[in-house]
A and B are shown apart, each in its own frame.
Chain A
Amino acid sequence: MKKIGIIIAREFNERVRKKSFIITTILMPLLMLGLMAAPSLMMLFATGDQKTLLVIDESGAVAQKLESNDEVVFTPFAGSLDEARANEEVFGVLWIGRDVVATPSQVRLYTNSSSSLTLEESIAAQIEDVVESERLKMYNIEGLEDIMNNLQTSVSMSTYRNDLSAEGEDEEATSSMVAYLLGLVLGMMLYMFLIIYGSMVMTSVIEEKGSRVLDVLVSSVSPFQLMMGKILGIASVAVTQVAIWGVLICGLGATVLPALMPTDVMQTMEAIEAGQMTALEADMDADMLSALSMATDIPQLVMMFVWLLLFLVGGFLFYSAMFAAVGSSVDSIQDASQLQTPITMPIILALILAMSVFNDPNSSLAFWGSVIPLTSPVVMMARIPFGIPTWQIVLSLILLYISVVGMAWAAGKIYRVGIFMHGKKPSYKELWQWLKQ
């Protein structure tokens, strides 16, 4: 065991000290958070100077109802259009025709510089509202304002899981959209880790074999110890990377994100979390809220990372044993490409399955895909955000780790023979014979 430890330490130190590792580990979460925070940052910085618009309202019905906001200030103007257009100090002129209620096309915007789509849309929307209410008034309906206020609504659906709130907890709102995105990210992450770190094991074995370091090493350690040392060493690099990401994301989620969000959003969210308000009352987008509450709900994030790590390690051990066996049996990376096809195929299949999981996380396809070890790491990680029964996750983990042992044993047998074979690339049949030796 001590020897495995020495080998693990070497693998770990060699890789973690590399510049490329340090850079990707630190930059990745910053990049992700940057993407997440980009919209709010853009809002913060995009609201630059207010634009002043001179309003010439020939109908007399619209101008006083236009509301100035952060972006635009409406200033009534009594002169003629030409006079107004001659004024180059304002952003532009909004001209509203006499019969605008009957003919809504009688609206023109003259600007001294380029205007923006959002600005135009917000002005048009305001005028539309005015025109709409003016038209409504013509019907002479009693208590119109109350009726209007009562009519105004936006549907914000909250989904509740009966099975999840059965334990007397507060009802927990879930969002399929958030689960979908999270599942996508987690599934992709597993997929990438298996491929990237798996082929790292393979490349490293081929290098050791090619440089004949293996011949020296096997006089001190058994081939199996050597293989496991390498796999575990690289696994610990992967775990370190994910753990750093986890800490960074949790930490930033707890500190930076709330600071970036507008305070009223945060207060509403806290109220919802405290059970004082439901998302319905809050009159906010349910997806947005559950995304926010997930990003700031540390225990849930931690749990997610624990599952992620367990499946990452299990899946990595399972696949990297195969990668190691292939690496041991060839002399060059070129030779390896054909032999590794049967390994990469199931990983790609798992990703395809994971995509179909999003349509129905509880289909039998999704269930079996997330329980059978070949595809389970990727598919299960894609399913977990949808909130599935814990026994399924545990079953999947148990099966995965049992197959890890079997796979390590089989790969060890191939490895033991393969590392001394030089020259011809072995066929699948030969690999099978090594396995049986």
Chain B
Amino acid sequence: MDLLKIENITKRYSAHTALDDVSLSVPRGSIYGLLGPNGAGKTTLIRVINRITLPDAGRVIFDGHEITDQDIYQIGYLPEERGLYKKMKVGEQAIFFAQLKGLSRREAIARLKEWFVRMGIESWWNRKVEDLSKGMAQKVQFITTVLHEPKLLIFDEPFSGFDPINANILKQEILRLRDKGATVIFSTHNMSSVEEICDHITLINKSRNILSGSVEEVRRRFGENVFEVTYSGQADTFEQAMQPVAEMLSSSAVADSPYTCSRIRIKDTASVRDSITVANEAVELRSFREVIPSMNDIFIRAVEGTL
């Protein structure tokens, strides 16, 4: 069942339309990528989910019912623009944000101590935020976002400002939260992180949902019948043999081995099976696999309208 359903949301501002009839569903327990170029309407959509702004039309269904103010206790939101009170001490500040999310002071302190130990930052408790580096402040902010163990977590560019080691710690924590039952919405421009951890994506461009689905499904849909073939034999021989069924795109010798690697696009008139048969007779095959486009390629092609 879906934890969150967005149904035909429209939001207009005086000068422009930020969201135009956007629908999507986020399956429970998934990591859902919300993609799109700058200014596409992602932040507005997140604000609608958070009930910061109310939509002009459409509904948000959360956990089976139309979302209410009480549900925001079940949401944790890490905005792209991070912010903490500079003059406040780290511990007190974290307690403050936790209390706003409905935790009692005692509960907040207990959970915070646990998180601080796990992230290795327990010595920061009494330090002021202005004394922390940007990455350190990001860690604190991450903890305040997830501390109340919400059902839905929304991260806007969570990895920006982190070094690779800390980014990896953060990734592990996000996956751990997902395994504990949280659903994660993940807004980002970083396509490699989408491929690594997202199950589903939605691509928003110019206020509209232009692409939705599971990552595998989307990538397959964008596959263009391109295959990569590795074999031992001559590239020329291979190209000649394949001519009736496929077009040769590129060829290169695999370094330090007797093999050649070629990319071919199978013609619409031929099947994959025929192609393999032909190739198998022409050369000695090592591998034959489909080339699936990267999310990066899909993103660019989708946004530029060359679908």
Contact = CB atoms under 8 A, between A and B. Distances in A.
Asked if A pairs with B, the answer is: yes
A32 B88 CA distance: 33
B100 interface: yes
B52 interface: yes
Interface stretch (A48-56, A57-65, A214-222, A273-281): A214-222
Given A218-B52, A219-B50, A212 B100 contact: no
B75 A14 contact: no
Contacts of B85: 14, 208, 211, 213
By DSSP majority rule, is chain B's interface helix, strand, loop, or mixed?
A: loop
B84 interface: yes
B14 A433 contact: yes
A219 B77 contact: yes
B101 A220 contact: yes
A137 interface: no
B97 interface: yes
A218 B75 CA distance: 12
A10 interface: yes
A213 B83 contact: yes
A219 B52 contact: yes
Contacts of B144: 216
Contacts of B72: 219-220
A6 B100 CA distance: 7
Given A213-B84, A216-B79, A219-B52, 14 more contacts: A3-B100, A6-B96, A6-B100, A7-B100, A212-B79, A213-B83, A214-B83, A215-B81, A216-B82, A216-B83, A216-B84, A217-B100, A219-B75, A220-B97
B87 interface: yes
A215 B83 contact: yes
8 nearest A-B pairs in the assembled complex, by CB-CB distance:
A212-B83, A213-B83, A219-B77, A220-B100, A212-B81, A215-B79, A211-B83, A219-B50
Nearest to A226: B100
Given A218-B52, A219-B75, A211 B86 contact: yes
A423 B259 CA distance: 58
Interface string A209-242: 0011111111111110000000000000000000
Interface string B57-99: 0000000000001001001010101111111100000001101
Nearest to A3: B100
A216 B83 CA distance: 7
Interface string B230-259: 000000000000000000000000000000
Nearest to A215: B79
Contacts of A14: 85, 87-88
Nearest to A422: B81
B141 interface: yes
B100 A221 contact: yes
Nearest to B101: A220
Contacts of B69: 222
A154 to B, nearest CB: 60
A3 B100 CA distance: 6
B178 to A, nearest CB: 20
A216 B77 CA distance: 7
Interface string A415-437: 00000000000000000010001
Contacts of A217: 100
Contacts of A433: 14
Interface in A174-220: 208, 211-220
Q: What bracket does the count of chain A residues touching chain B fall in?
A: 20 to 34
Contacts of B79: 212, 215-216, 219
A216 B141 contact: yes
Contacts of B50: 218-219
Nearest to A212: B83
A395 to B, nearest CB: 38
A3 B101 CA distance: 9
Interface of A: 3, 6-7, 10, 14, 208, 211-223, 433, 437
Nearest to B81: A212
A433 B15 CA distance: 12
B160 to A, nearest CB: 13
Nearest to A437: B14
Contacts of A6: 96, 99-100
B292 to A, nearest CB: 36
19 contacts: A3-B100, A6-B100, A10-B96, A211-B86, A212-B81, A212-B83, A213-B83, A215-B81, A216-B77, A216-B79, A216-B82, A216-B83, A216-B144, A220-B72, A220-B97, A220-B100, A220-B101, A221-B100, A437-B14
A221 B99 CA distance: 11
Contacts of B141: 216
A216 B52 contact: no
B58 to A, nearest CB: 19
Contacts of B88: 14
A7 B97 CA distance: 10
Nearest to B14: A433
A2 to B, nearest CB: 8
A217 B79 CA distance: 10
A6 B93 CA distance: 12
A20 to B, nearest CB: 13
Nearest to B88: A14
A222 B54 CA distance: 11
A213 B72 CA distance: 17
A212 B141 CA distance: 12
Contacts of B84: 211, 213, 216
A14 B101 CA distance: 20
A220 B141 CA distance: 14
Nearest to A214: B83
B154 to A, nearest CB: 8
A200 to B, nearest CB: 14
A208 B97 CA distance: 14
A3 B85 CA distance: 17
Nearest to A213: B83
Contacts of A222: 69
Contacts of B101: 220
A6 B50 CA distance: 20
A272 B100 CA distance: 58
Chain B CB within 10 Å, residue with most, of A216, A217, A221: A216
Contacts of A219: 50, 52, 72, 75, 77, 79
Nearest to B78: A216
A214 B52 CA distance: 11
A216 B14 contact: no
A268 B88 CA distance: 56
Chain B CB within 10 Å, residue with most, of A6, A214, A215, A221: A215
A6 B14 CA distance: 34
Chain B CB within 10 Å, residue with most, of A218, A220, A221: A220
Nearest to B82: A212
Contacts of B75: 219
A71 to B, nearest CB: 57
